Amino acid sequence: MENTTATEVILYNLSLLDIRVENSTGSLDQGVPDNPPLIIYDHHLPKFEPPILILICVVLGLMILATIIGNVFVITAIIVEKSLQGVSNYLILSLGVTDLMVAVLVMPLSLVNEVSVYWYLGAEICDMWISIDVLCCTASILHLVAIAVDRYWAVSNIDYIRRRCARGIILMVVVVWFVAISVSLPPLFGWKEETNNPELIGMCIISQNKVYTVFSTVGAFYFPLFLMLILNYKIYKAARSRIRKKKFGGRPHTRPMLVPQVTIENGGNPSRNSSGSDVSQDGFSVYNGSCVVMNEISRMESTIDATDIGTNGELYNESKFTIGNSLTVPTNVFVLTKNRSNNNSKQVKNREKDKLRKEKIEMRRERKAARVLGIITGAFIVCWLPFFIIAVVAPFCAESCTFPPPVFSVFLWLGYFNSLLNPIIYTIFNPNFRVAFRKILFGKIQFVKR
C-alpha cells in the first residue's frame, strides 16, 4: 500500500465504482467478482518529502496564525474601544468573526488535506469541512458586498447616516448568512454526483454537479463581484463629486440678488441691500426682518451718533426707511464698512492661494479615495477570481482539460489569503483602528462597561 501512487489508487477505485454501476443494470461481465475489494483510506500518507513537507506546514501554519491574530485584533478593538463602537463598524465586526471562522474551522483541515496523498478522515468530516468552507468563504465575500452597499448609501445619501441603526445592519448580516447557507447546504441533501465520495476516490472535493457548480459560483462570487465593481465605482464618483463641491468646505458664498437701490442722505454711498437675508459680498450688510417693496424711495432720514462707529471703521445705526408716502420700514442693524480698496489686491492674492491650496487638497482626497477603493476591489479580485475560474470550468471539461494539483492548491490558498487581508484593508486607513491596535499591543486597553 505504501508504494501505491495516489493516481493509481483513485483510478482503481473509480474502475470498481463503474463495475458496481454496471452490476445494477445487469450488464456485468461474468468474470468479474460481485464485490471486488476497495482500498480503504484510513491513515496519513505524506504527499511530499520531509523538507518540502516541513516548509509547506510552516508557511501555511504562519498564514493561519496571522489570519487568527489579525481578526482577533479587529474584534477586540471594536469591543473595547469606545470610538469604534458605532453602528458603522458592526459589519466590520461581523466580517472579522467570519474570517476568524475561516482561519479556525476551514484552513487547518485544508492544510491536512494539502500535505496528504488522499483524504483519510472519513466522509462525514469531509462533508462537514466542505460545507463550512463554502459557508464561511461565501459569507466573507458577501460581507464585502454589504460593506460596499453601506458605504455607497452613506456617501450618496446624507440622511442615511442619521437613519442608520443597529437593526438595519443586523438585517444585512442576516441576509448575508442566509445566502451563504443557501449556497453551502444543498450538497448535504443530495445535490452532488455519486463519485463525490472520499471513501471511493480518496479525495474530499466540492460537489461537481454542473447545475450546482453554476449556482454556487454565481451566488458566492460572480454576482457579488459584479455588485462590488458597480458599487465601488459609484462610491468613487459620489465621493469625488462631494469633494469637489465648494459648499462642503471653506467660507460659504451668497448668491447675488436683485434688490432696490437705496440712497442714504447722511453722506453714504449708494449701495444695494439684501433685505431679510445675510451678508452680501460688497462689504455692505443689512440684517432686517422686513421686506422692501419695489417703490420709489424718496427720502431716508437717519441720525448717526459718533459713538456708533466701531473700532474697525464699521458704522452701526438704527433707523427707519421711508418708502414713498405710505410705508415706513424699520431696520435693525446697518453695517457699513469703510473703504477697503487698499486691501483688495492682498485679498485677491490670498483668495488665489486658498483656491490653489483647496484644489491640491481635493486632488489628494480623490487620489486617496481611488487608491483605497482600488486596493479593496483589486485584493478581492486577485484573491478569489483564479479559484472561481477553475471551479466553474473544471466540471464542464473534466475529460478534455486537467488542472495540475499544485495550481489548484495555490489558487485555493490565495482565496484563503483574502481572510488575512480583510482585517488589514478595512482598518489600516482608519486612524481610530490604528490607535486601538497600539493600545492592544502595548497593553493600554480599557474595557468599556456597557
Domain boundaries, the chain: 1-38, 40-247+361-441, 261-344
Percent of the chain with pLDDT over 70: 64
pLDDT value at residue 144: 92
Are 154 and 83 in contact, with CB atoms under 8 Å apart?
A: no
- Residue 325 is predicted with a pLDDT of 44
Per-residue pLDDT tens over the stretch 155-174? 888 788 888 888 999 999 99
Q: Which CATH superfamily groups domain 40-247+361-441?
A: Rhodopsin 7-helix transmembrane proteins (1.20.1070.10)
Q: Structure pTM?
A: 0.68
Q: Confidence band (pLDDT; 50, 70, 90) for 379?
A: very high
What does the pLDDT read at residue 319? 44
Instruction: Phi first, then psi: give them for residue 208, nearest 5 degrees.
Output: -95, 10
Give dist(CA 17, CA 297) in Å, integer: 106
pLDDT for residue 444: 63
CA 385, CA 175: separation in Å to the nearest integer? Answer: 23
| pLDDT over 90 (residue 175) | yes
Give mean pLDDT, residues 408-427.
Answer: 92
Q: Collect all residues with Cβ–Cβ distance below 8 Å to 272 and sequence separation of at least 6.
A: 259, 260, 261, 262, 280, 282, 284
Q: Which residue has the cell 483519510?
A: 120
Residue that wins the pLDDT comparison between 142 and 430: 142
* Alpha helix stretches (DSSP H) within 102-222: 107-114, 123-156, 158-163, 166-184, 198-201, 210-217
pLDDT at 326: 43
Confidence of residue 90 (pLDDT cuts 50, 70, 90): very high
Which carries the bigger pLDDT value, residue 264 or residue 39? 39
Q: Helices (DSSP H) in 394-430: which residue ranges?
A: 405-428
| Span 293-347, pLDDT tens digits | 434 434 444 443 444 444 344 444 444 444 444 444 444 444 444 445 556 677 7
Ranking 6-10, 295-299, 346-350 by mean pLDDT, the lowest is: 295-299
Contact 196, 207 (CB under 8 A): yes
Highest mean pLDDT among 198-207, 241-250, 329-338, 354-363: 198-207
Q: Mean pLDDT, to the nearest integer, of 38-44?
A: 69
pLDDT digits (tens, 9 = 90+) for 197-210: 787 788 888 888 88
- Percentage of residues in the chain having pLDDT higher than 90: 33
